[in-house]
């Protein structure tokens, strides 16, 4: 089991306070909580229509009681989204994985930061033997390895096993082989079943077996979103390989229950169900997540524990994590000083509503001084998200230099180009045109200038505009291909 956990933890790694605004003295709800919650329901429904969300659910637990559980809009084209509706969680999965590992640590089967991972799993290796001998479980789960992101491959390399992908990355991260119990089963046995999270599980194929599941949607433009025009995303794509990092589903009610147990240090109904030390380890800062310019309502920097972002908001500590998969966006936030949990699920991923609305909820419920209109910010940010997504779909290219033909015949570019992390990019000449295949994506190349070509890489409803550039070696033959995908510059060497 330990070896299996380590393998999936590596998969998790490959994916991808300070100046504080004072809170009200006791951070207690406003006098008329019923009126606040009634207004909140109206606010959230209006915000939903302004932020590209067909359907969503919100659950709030305060001082151990479920005080708000509402669904808004539609979970598909006709049925209402309810608090029981199940939706994909994306990266909110990471906290479940970290907690399952914490239970193994509590059982003495491994430790966090003393024994190198390589001791448990000799196949784990990096290109630096010193680094290999030093990396611990805590390093992997707190994202402090400095490994590059290869999310593209974990999400879109259909047809390859998780072990195949790990082997591919031995030059940058690790290699291991599958042994023992799948991570899905470990999380079920160590976390889901003990807590009674019966509406929580793994994978989109499993999700859609349940009648009350959310279907994924996406708007093409902000105008479409405001008009309620959404495109359905497919529910039958092969499952990705990011089980440990982003492949769980849940309902707002289950998610809030989970958050309550975490916030209480593993206690549920007066019983210690999960290891207190284990929970505390996941909520301890190990890494600075991002120290960029920050809003004065928050900490100067966001810290990262293991599966949780650690922050503060107007004097209240915040343990939070969001999650995104195509057509789904989730946010779970815990406010331990106020004994408050807010769980937020949507069936659209190009929206800023879940996190922004969470802070609107906190302001309203705790009576904090208003420093910004969070719901307006959500609408403005959503408009920007959709505009950026349109740019991604169409691609952004340098100014074209006219009358600069390719330096080779089209047939010279055809071949297979290998990258140790991104695998093989295949270029073939068919019908007088160059065709590209990268992971599950395909496209047709159009000449741009010199040895650069444009294409739209497409897979199902996902589209990414790309500039593909070829290089010539000293022998005068095409030797490399290069492009930037999901922020990573990739160069593949041509097989000769």
Answer yes or no: are the C-beta atoms of 138 and 286 closer than 8 Å: yes
- Provide the CATH number for the domain around residue 183: 3.40.710.10
Is 70 exceeded by the pLDDT of residue 10? no
Q: 119-145: per-residue pLDDT in tens? A: 777 767 767 788 778 887 787 777 776
* Domain's final residue, options 392, 418, 444: 392
Burial 141-176 (b: 16+ CB within 10 A, else e): bbbbbebeebbbbbbbbeeeebbebbebbbeebbbb
Q: 32-72: per-residue pLDDT in tens? A: 788 999 999 999 999 999 999 999 999 999 999 999 999 99
DSSP-derived secondary structure for 166-219: HHHGGGTS------SS-HHHHHIIIIIHHHT-TT-EE-HHHHTTSSSBPPPEE-
For residue 401, tell me if it sits in a domain.
no
| Percentage, residues of the chain above pLDDT 90 | 62
Structurally, the chain folds into a number of domains equal to 2
**Hey, what are 231's tokens?**
């495109």
Residues 353 and 458 in one domain: no
Residues 362 and 432 in one domain: no
Residues 317 and 460 in one domain: no
For residue 398, tell me if it sits in a domain.
no
Q: 320-362: per-residue pLDDT in tens? A: 999 998 899 999 999 999 999 999 999 999 999 999 999 999 9
Residues 198 and 231 in one domain: yes
Residues 278 and 427 in one domain: no
Answer yes or no: are the C-beta atoms of 266 and 277 closer than 8 Å: no
Q: How far is CA 455 from CA 158, 221, 397, 405, in A?
A: 21, 22, 11, 17
In 3D, which of 20, 141, 91, 53 has the Cα closest to residue 332?
Answer: 91
Is 70 exceeded by the pLDDT of residue 98? yes
pLDDT of residue 24: 36
Distance CA 239, CA 8 (A): 15
Tokens 């999965």 locate to 93
Residues 326 and 272 in one domain: yes
* Domain's final residue, options 359, 392, 425: 392
The phi and psi torsions of 330 (rounded to 5 degrees) equal -135, 150
Is 80 exceeded by the pLDDT of residue 287? yes
Distance CA 491, CA 469 (A): 9
For residue 194, tell me if it sits in a domain.
yes
Mean pLDDT, rounded, of the chain = 85
Residues 190 and 292 in one domain: yes
* Domain's final residue, options 341, 358, 392: 392
Residues 309 and 423 in one domain: no
Answer yes or no: are the C-beta atoms of 423 and 439 closer than 8 Å: yes
Residues 227 and 301 in one domain: yes
Q: What single DSSP character describes residue 84?
A: T
Q: Give the mean model confidence (pLDDT) for residues 71-83.
A: 97
Is 50 exceeded by the pLDDT of residue 157? no
Question: What are 441's strand-pairing partners?
Answer: 438
pLDDT of residue 13: 46
| Predicted confidence band of residue 28 (pLDDT cuts 50, 70, 90) | very low
Residues 388 and 415 in one domain: no
Residues 445 and 376 in one domain: no
Q: What single DSSP character describes residue 13?
A: H
- Provide the CATH number for the domain around residue 483: 2.40.128.600
Residue 439's domain comprises 410-494
Q: What single DSSP character describes residue 28?
A: P
For residue 102, tell me if it sits in a domain.
yes
Q: 212-247: per-residue pLDDT in tens? A: 999 999 998 999 998 999 999 988 765 555 667 788
Is 60 exceeded by the pLDDT of residue 397? yes
Burial 88-97 (b: 16+ CB within 10 A, else e): bbbbbbbbbb
Distance CA 110, CA 140 (A): 14
pLDDT of residue 176: 25
Count of CA atoms in the C-beta half-sphere (13 A) of 95: 30
For residue 402, tell me if it sits in a domain.
no
For residue 462, tell me if it sits in a domain.
yes
For residue 404, tell me if it sits in a domain.
no
For residue 378, tell me if it sits in a domain.
yes
Sheet containing 340-346: order of strands: 65-73, 55-62, 340-346, 328-335, 316-325, 309-313, 302-304, 287-290
Close Cβ partners of 339 (under 8 Å, ≥ 6 residues apart): 62, 63, 64, 263
Residues 51 and 112 in one domain: yes
């Amino acid at each position: 089991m330990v070896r299996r956990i380590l393998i999936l933890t590596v998969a998790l790694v490959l994916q991808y306070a300070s100046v504080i605004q004072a809170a009200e003295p006791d951070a207690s709800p406003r006098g008329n909580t019923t009126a606040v919650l009634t207004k909140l329901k109206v606010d959230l429904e209006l915000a939903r229509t302004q932020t590209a969300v067909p359907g969503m659910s919100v659950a709030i637990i305060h001082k151990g009681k479920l005080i708000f559980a509402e669904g808004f809009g539609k979970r598909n084209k006709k049925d209402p989204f309810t608090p029981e509706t199940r939706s994909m969680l994306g990266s909110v999965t990471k906290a479940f994985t970290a907690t399952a590992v914490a239970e193994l640590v509590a059982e003495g089967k491994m430790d966090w930061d003393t024994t190198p991972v390589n001791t448990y799993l000799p196949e784990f290796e990096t290109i630096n033997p010193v680094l290999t001998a030093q990396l611990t479980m805590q390093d992997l789960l707190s994202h402090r390895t400095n490994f590059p992101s290869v999310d593209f491959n974990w999400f879109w390399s259909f047809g390859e096993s998780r072990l195949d992908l790990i082997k591919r990355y031995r030059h940058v991260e690790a290699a291991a082989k599958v042994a023992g119990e799948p991570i899905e089963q470990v999380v079920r046995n160590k976390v889901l079943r003990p807590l009674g999270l019966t509406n929580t599980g793994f994978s989109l194929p499993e999700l859609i077996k349940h009648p009350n599941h959310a279907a994924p949607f996406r708007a093409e433009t902000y105008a479409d979103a405001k008009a309620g025009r959404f495109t359905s995303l497919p529910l039958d794509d092969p499952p990705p390989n990011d089980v440990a990092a982003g492949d769980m589903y849940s309902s707002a009610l289950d998610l809030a229950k989970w958050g309550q147990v975490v916030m209480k240090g593993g206690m549920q109904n007066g019983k210690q169900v999960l290891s207190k030390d284990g929970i505390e380890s996941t909520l301890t800062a190990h890494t600075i997540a991002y120290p960029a310019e920050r809003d004065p309502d928050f900490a100067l920097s966001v810290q990262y524990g293991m599966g949780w972002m650690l922050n503060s908001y107007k004097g209240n500590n915040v343990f939070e994590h969001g999650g995104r998969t195509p057509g789904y966006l989730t946010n779970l936030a815990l406010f331990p000083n106020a004994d408050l949990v807010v769980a937020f699920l949507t069936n659209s991923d190009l929206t800023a509503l879940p996190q922004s609305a969470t802070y609107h909820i906190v302001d309203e419920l705790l009576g904090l001084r208003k420093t910004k209109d969070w719901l307006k910010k959500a609408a403005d940010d959503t408009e920007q998200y959709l505009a950026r997504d349109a740019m991604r779909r169409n691609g952004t290219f340098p100014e074209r230099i006219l009358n600069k033909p390719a330096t080779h015949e089209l047939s010279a570019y055809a071949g297979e180009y290998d990258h140790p992390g991104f695998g093989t990019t295949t270029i073939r000449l068919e019908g007088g045109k160059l065709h590209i295949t990268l992971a599950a994506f395909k496209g047709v190349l159009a000449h741009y200038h010199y040895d650069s070509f444009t294409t739209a890489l497409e897979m199902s409803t996902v589209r990414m505009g790309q500039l593909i550039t070829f290089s010539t070696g000293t022998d005068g033959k095409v030797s490399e291909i290069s492009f930037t995908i999901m922020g990573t510059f990739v160069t593949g060497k041509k097989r000769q």
